[in-house]
């Protein structure tokens, strides 16, 4: 079949994951093998498994062949059409963004993800394809991926590790010009290893994957990329070295020269070192110069909401692997280890990958507004004496890729509103069009989605019970569980204590009464995994499983094992209400609740992560008071009671209040507001545009400037920094004088800079912001040099006299055009 043009067309379609969000070819794969297609939604596996006779028959069918050609032509034409980036930023200095992530959730056909981090990476890569943003993604190909879940008859989770057969995955080996498989050599603490290289086509973009399962490697080395988030600290460190160092070398081997290196979490921070090493070799400069030049093009996105969540490695372990790297960089091991420590001189302090990422990047961001605040608190120890609100961490709130999570019916509705190219749709137009849709259209969308989820749940539950060898009557009961026209709630996530997956079970009898109300029944679909090492999370799964077995609730609740992307898609397309109960502020962003928006689902969620920005009473329901309470069980009990009350008194009654047409008009009104206002904002299209315009474009310009003339600007930046480091202790203040007249406080402050050039610093008046406003930072004007002084000047500034003069304090901070302060120079001197 290799020379059959129809088979070649099918191969081209199957190997580009654009099918995971453009579904025009679904019918073709279903014709090849309906059962395998329903189970896997993996075109490549369907194509590989198809018998030769069946392929010959179907490719000879003129109707089938014509459809193949139409779909392939549409895909190729789509790739040629101008995109947002080409239209808006054609002259920008940005040619390529290298995006590094430990995991990617693109499709269930490529199971190299665990959860939220991979979800963000996959959705942003798809959005970059649609928008035309030049991104090349780097990751690891895991032989087993994350574990698969089975739950036994006692409700105990079992972890399974099936092999990811590369021949069944939609990937291809990367080849050199002579046809040989591209393999990247690495030395890891004196041991040479080879990394195989793979390519995944994601629309217009590529994901490049590395794995250590090369026959030339010893068995222990071949297993480095065996599991995602498995093994001990030694294995995890090796994986991160491969991702960062091997990943950057792969880009160089492909001839790719990114201006931007985007680190999706600290796992990939070693790319900072390899990028600097590469720059050193090309320009004949030292590591310090290379880092000063390249860090301006590095962006670090942190997803961690608690200090314990950062990847840390014991000093002896990390020294073992970093000693040869330090030699290649021409620096001491101590200097390299200091990049990952709060206290450079503390030899017992673990090496923190997030600290390395901060110290090697030109910008840092969290993934929601609240998470930005939390991250400033977490990283504030790296910037002593700076106010917490000035810790250099911003935020870009996450969003989801619409086409990936919408049902086909939902996608058709959105196309009616904004045309076939969703990425080009203006939010205002989308909102306007949604408000013209009839209640009947929205209710039909909602009821059809719910019906689809119920039917899917029945089939999946029946398969689970069949696989466990249960009795025929148990299997038959699974095919009748849940009811149509019933309020359907969804709850699915990783089972970890901070996510409080059992808050809904706080009072099992009260929950049972809500579910079994004879007039207004409610039903619940639940799914989720606990890490194999998380015994507390596994115990919560068992608790839910036992609740589900209660005879009174059994028809109303389904716990579906092995939560994966296919199940997630079905749930977010079908639930009426999505429930999320994390312990604030530990949900950095959360994306599961965003996925229900476009499908008409509503949210009842803790005021944490993205929901803090999204919530208002006319688009959903909120738990909590917006404050942090730790793990106080009294707060858990109070919030559980509040959740039950919301369900009993607001959610359920609103769903069942119907007009003469049988439509819940109040519910539809909230649904319309949620879809119209929130869907455009919490979209990956908005996210990628924001990253491009706020970070990629300015960072690309900064990097190009610093790298010019063999990094001469970076050398000058280091000279500035060196002068500050050497002379900062000698800077001092004189006596401040303040006069108040004409509604202004006029400050005059003598500052003695000693040997620090006056244009190396800025003197400011600072006052804490009031009522949530940002702080006041008023630049003071430098006067003539004071006679008889060494670098002494009077600095003056006027501020409105609507606050006491005592609110203001003078300070000296580093200043240089193009430098990022305090990220690149964290000195600060306050007037006592």
Q: Using one digit for the tens of pLDDT, what is the confidence trace for 678-709?
A: 999 999 999 999 999 999 999 999 999 999 99
Question: Do residue 769 and residue 811 come from a single domain?
Answer: yes
The tens digit of pLDDT for each residue in 802-819 reads 999 999 999 999 999 999
| Beta-bridge partner residues of 100 | 138, 263
pLDDT digits (tens, 9 = 90+) for 162-194: 999 999 999 999 999 999 999 999 999 888 999
Residue 622 lies in a domain: yes
Are residue 382 and residue 407 in the same domain, yes or no?
no
Q: What is the dihedral of CA 619, 624, 628, 629, to 10 degrees?
A: -160
Domain's final residue, options 673, 707, 741: 707
* pLDDT tier at 135, thresholds 50, 70, 90: very high
Using DSSP's 3-state secondary structure scheme, residue 666 falls into helix
* Whether residues 347 and 327 fall in one domain: yes
Query: Do 386 and 293 belong to one domain?
Result: yes
User: For the residues 201-209, what does the mean pLDDT come to?
Assistant: 98
687 domain-assigned? no
Please indicate, yes or no, if residue 714 is contained in any of the structural domains: no
For residue 3, name the pLDDT band (cuts at 50, 70, 90). low
Residue ranges making up the domain that contains 661? 402-682
User: Stretch 435-459: mean pLDDT, rounded?
Assistant: 94
Note whether 630 and 654 are same-domain residues. yes
Do 740 and 782 belong to one domain? yes
pLDDT band at 733 (very low <50, low <70, confident <90, very high): very high
- Length reported for the chain: 832
Q: Residues 733, 832: contact at Cβ < 8 Å?
A: yes
The answer to whether residues 676 and 696 belong to one domain is no
pLDDT above 80 (res 424): no
d(CA 581, CA 502): 9
Per-residue pLDDT of 465-478, as tens digits, reads 998 888 898 899 89
Q: Are strands 394-395 and 363-366 parallel, antiparallel or unpaired?
A: parallel
Tell me if 720 is assigned to some domain. Answer: no
Q: Which of 46, 63, 80 is the last residue of a domain?
A: 80
Q: How far is CA 132 from CA 20, 397, 696, 800, in A?
A: 18, 21, 14, 48
Domain tally for the chain? 4
SS (H, E, C) 700-761: HHHHHHHHHHHHHHHHHHHHHHHHHHHHHHHCEECCCEEEEECCEEEEEEEEECCCCCHHHE
Tens of pLDDT, residues 78-115: 999 999 999 999 899 999 999 999 999 999 999 999 98
CATH number at residue 652: 3.40.50.2000
pLDDT tens-digit profile of 492-511? 989 999 999 999 999 999 99
Assess contact for 118 and 103: CB atoms under 8 A. Answer: yes
The verdict on residue 417 lying in a domain is: yes
Best-predicted range by mean pLDDT among 36-40, 520-524, 781-785? 520-524
**Stretch 746-764: mean pLDDT, rounded?**
96
- Using one digit for the tens of pLDDT, what is the confidence trace for 576-628? 999 999 999 999 999 999 999 999 999 999 999 999 999 999 999 999 999 99
- pTM listed for this prediction: 0.96
* CA pair distance 392, 408, nearest whole angstrom: 42
Helices within 295-438 (DSSP H only): 315-329, 333-338, 353-359, 369-379, 402-405, 408-418, 427-434
* 2 pLDDT tier (thresholds 50, 70, 90): low
- Look at residue 635 and tell me whether its pLDDT is greater than 60: yes
Task: Using the predicted structure, report yes or no on whether residue 518 has a pLDDT greater than 60.
Answer: yes
Tally of CB atoms within 10 A around 531: 18
Closest to 247 in 3D by CA, of 287, 208, 193, 286: 208
Quick one: 138 and 90 in the same domain? yes
Task: Give yes or no for residue 1 having a pLDDT over 70.
Answer: no
Q: For residue 40, tell me if it sits in a domain.
A: yes
Q: Is 723 within a domain?
A: no
Q: Which residue has the tokens 């969540």?
A: 309
pLDDT tens per residue across span 210-254:
999 999 999 999 999 999 998 899 999 999 999 999 999 999 999
Looking at 38, 62, 80, the residue that finishes a domain is: 80
Is 236 found in the same domain as 361? yes
Same domain for 20 and 117, yes or no, is: no
Q: Are residues 804 and 751 in the same domain?
A: yes
Residue 566 shares a structural domain with residue 474: yes
Phi, psi of 173 (to 5 degrees): -65, 145
Q: What share of the chain in percent tops pLDDT 70?
A: 100
Distance CA 541, CA 159 (A): 13
Token couple for 401: 């890729």
Compute the Cα dihedral for 532, 639, 526, 617 and give only its sign.
negative
Contacts of 481 (CB under 8 A, 6+ apart): 457, 458, 461, 554, 555, 558
Q: Please check whether residue 795 is in contact with residue 782, taking contact to mean a CB–CB distance below 8 angstroms.
A: yes
Averaged confidence pLDDT in the chain: 94
Q: How confident is the model at residue 51 (pLDDT cuts 50, 70, 90)?
A: confident
Does some domain include residue 394? yes
Torsional class of 389: left (φ above 0), alpha (ψ -120 to 50), beta (otherwise): alpha
Query: Which tens digits make up the pLDDT trace of 337-356?
Result: 999 999 998 999 999 999 99
**Which of the 8 DSSP states describes residue 442?**
H
């Amino acid at each position: 079949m290799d020379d059959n043009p129809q088979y070649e067309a099918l191969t081209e379609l199957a190997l580009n994951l654009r099918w995971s969000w453009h579904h025009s070819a679904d019918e073709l794969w279903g014709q090849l093998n309906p059962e395998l297609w329903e189970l896997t939604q993996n075109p490549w596996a369907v194509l590989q498994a198809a018998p030769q006779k069946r392929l010959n028959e179907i490719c000879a069918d003129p109707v089938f062949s014509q459809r193949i050609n139409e779909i392939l032509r549409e895909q190729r034409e789509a790739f040629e059409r101008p995109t947002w980036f080409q239209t808006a930023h054609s002259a920008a200095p940005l040619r390529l963004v290298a995006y590094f992530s430990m995991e990617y959730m693109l499709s269930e056909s490529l199971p190299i993800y665990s959860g939220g981090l991979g979800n963000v990476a996959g959705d942003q890569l798809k959005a970059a394809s649609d928008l035309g943003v030049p991104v090349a993604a780097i990751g690891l190909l895991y032989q087993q991926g994350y574990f698969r879940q089975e739950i036994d008859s006692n409700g105990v989770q079992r972890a399974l590790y099936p092999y990811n057969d590369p021949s069944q995955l939609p990937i291809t080996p990367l080849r050199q010009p002579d046809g040989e498989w591209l393999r990247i050599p690495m030395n890891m603490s004196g041991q040479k290893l080879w990394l195989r290289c793979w390519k995944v086509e994601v629309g217009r973009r590529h994901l490049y994957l590395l794995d250590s399962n090369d026959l030339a490697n010893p068995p222990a080395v071949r297993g480095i990329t065996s599991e995602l988030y498995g093994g001990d600290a030694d294995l995890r460190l090796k994986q991160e070295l491969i991702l960062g160092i091997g990943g950057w070398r792969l880009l160089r081997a492909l001839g790719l020269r990114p201006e931007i290196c985007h680190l999706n979490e600290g796992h990939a921070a070693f790319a900072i070192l390899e990028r600097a090493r590469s720059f050193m070799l090309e320009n004949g400069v030292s590591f310090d110069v290379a880092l000063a030049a390249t860090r301006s093009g590095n962006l670090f996105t942190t997803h961690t909401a608690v200090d314990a969540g950062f990847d840390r490695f014991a000093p002896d372990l990390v020294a073992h692997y970093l000693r040869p790297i330090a030699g290649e960089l021409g620096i001491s091991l101590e200097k390299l280890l200091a990049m990952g420590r709060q206290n450079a001189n503390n030899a017992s302090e673990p090496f923190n990958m997030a600290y390395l990422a901060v110290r090697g990047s030109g910008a840092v961001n969290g993934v929601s507004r609240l998470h930005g605040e939390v991250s400033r608190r977490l990283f504030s120890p790296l910037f002593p004496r700076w106010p917490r609100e000035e810790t250099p961490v911003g935020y870009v709130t996450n969003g989801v890729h619409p086409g990936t999570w919408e049902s086909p019916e939902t996608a058709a509705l959105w196309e009616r509103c904004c045309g076939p190219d969703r990425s080009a749709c203006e939010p205002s137009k989308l909102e306007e069009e949604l408000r013209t849709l009839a209640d009947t259209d929205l209710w039909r969308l909602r009821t059809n989605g719910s019906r689809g989820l119920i039917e899917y749940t029945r089939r999946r539950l029946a398969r689970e019970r069949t696989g466990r060898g249960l009795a025929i009557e148990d299997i038959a009961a699974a095919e009748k569980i849940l009811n149509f026209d019933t309020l359907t709630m969804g709850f699915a996530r990783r089972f970890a204590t901070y996510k409080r997956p059992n808050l809904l079970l706080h009072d099992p009898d009260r929950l049972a009464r809500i579910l079994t109300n004879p007039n207004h029944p409610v039903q619940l679909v639940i799914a989720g995994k606990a890490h194999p090492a998380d015994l507390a999370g596994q115990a919560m799964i068992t608790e839910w499983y036992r609740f589900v077995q209660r005879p009174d609730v059994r028809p109303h609740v389904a716990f579906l094992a092995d939560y994966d992307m296919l199940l997630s898609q079905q749930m977010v397309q079908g639930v009426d209400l999505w429930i999320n109960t994390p312990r604030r502020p530990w949900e950095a962003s959360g994306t599961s609740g965003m996925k229900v928006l476009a499908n008409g689902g509503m949210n009842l969620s803790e005021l944490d992560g993205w929901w803090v920005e999204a919530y208002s009473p006319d688009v959903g329901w909120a738990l909590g008071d917006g404050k942090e309470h730790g793990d106080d069980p009294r707060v858990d009990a109070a919030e559980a009671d509040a959740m039950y009350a919301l369900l009993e008194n607001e959610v359920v009654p609103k769903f069942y209040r119907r007009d003469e047409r049988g439509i819940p008009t109040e519910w539809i009104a909230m649904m319309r507001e949620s879809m119209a206002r929130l869907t455009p904002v919490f979209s990956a299209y908005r996210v990628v545009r924001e990253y491009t315009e706020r970070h990629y474009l300015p960072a690309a310009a900064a990097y190009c400037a610093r790298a010019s003339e063999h990094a001469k600007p970076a050398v000058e930046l280091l000279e500035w920094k060196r002068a500050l480091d050497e002379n900062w202790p000698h800077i001092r203040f004189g006596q401040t004088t303040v006069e108040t007249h004409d509604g202004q406080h006029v400050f005059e402050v003598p500052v003695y800079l000693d040997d620090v050039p006056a244009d190396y610093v800025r003197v400011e008046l600072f006052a804490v912001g009031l009522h949530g406003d940002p702080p006041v930072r008023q630049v003071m004007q430098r006067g003539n040099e004071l006679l008889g002084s060494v670098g002494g000047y009077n600095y003056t500034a006027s501020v409105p006299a609507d606050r006491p003069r005592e609110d203001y304090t003078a300070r000296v901070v580093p200043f240089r055009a193009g430098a990022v302060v305090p990220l690149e120079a964290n000195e600060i001197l306050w007037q006592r």
